[in-house]
Chain A
Amino acid sequence: MATTTAALTISSSDLVGDALSLSTSKELHKADTTIGLDQTSGLAKTYLTATTNIDLFGAIIDTPAFEGKSHWVYICNKSETSTEYATITVGDKVIGRLYAGDFMWMPWDHAADTDTGNKHADIELAPSVATGMWFEYCMIHEGMQLPTAV
């Protein structure tokens, strides 16, 4: 059984009168168990040169075996130009923007929403410029659908 731990600290010395120092961590487990996640995409890096909205993590399509499984996703905009951002969408829902240097860490919920229109919960990313932007990403999970060879 693999053990993977995600930890987050958030600090600020000038936000409020009392210095902010938030810290939390969690072992990543398979859904409804205390068994550690044992699969990963590995840490990947890609250079995107179009503003096209792309699937960073593809949708599960009619594969119930993968529904409800645990997936964790890390995405980081490695651009060093402060105005460059990526729009992040889950399914048809725009979540927000990752500006240069910003990262996100969240569970990937394929199909917990029972609304039929929200089943295809791909994670999409759209760069704000076509002049080239670097992104880093990783998924740690307990199983996912891979495309059938053609």
Chain B
Amino acid sequence: MATLTPTLTLVSTDATTDELNFSVTDTLTVKEPSVGLSKVSATTTGNQTIILASHSDIRYLFLRHTGKNAAGSTVTTTLEVEIENGKSFAELSAEEWMFVPVGQNGGSVAVQLEASGGDIIAEYAYWTKG
């Protein structure tokens, strides 16, 4: 077991009259398997880029659209995040990221990535709830 400490901060000085500025920190106990920050090239075929295989644990997933393709060129295409083949639940534009717990005890969930065009380099990491 190990301890993982994620902190999310949302800040805006002008979105509302009252300044938005809050931060939340969690202390997660995590176990194997974990996958450190990794890179994949997502294509327009989702099941070619499965980043989280079917499992029955909770896995804390960090995922980021790097804004680049495999050739290193800037891309503006979007990255679909899919639970099961073809079922998108989120879409990331260039340089956007997300942090979610994925999985259901007793269930079977996999996450795969699909580029809306060409290819997209995505960064991801995940840790398993202990």
Contacts and interface: CB of A to CB of B under 8 A. Distances in A.
A5 B23 CA distance: 12
Interface in A78-127: 87-88, 90-91, 93-99, 101-109, 112-113, 115, 118, 121
Given A7-B8, A105-B8, A93 B89 contact: yes
Contacts, number: 172
A7 B100 contact: no
Interface residues of B, number: 58
B11 A98 contact: no
Contacts of A115: 86-87
Main DSSP-derived SS at the B contact region: strand
A12 B4 contact: yes
Interface of A: 2-16, 20, 22, 24, 26, 29, 31-32, 36-38, 40, 42-43, 70, 74, 76, 87-88, 90-91, 93-99, 101-109, 112-113, 115, 118, 121, 136, 138, 140
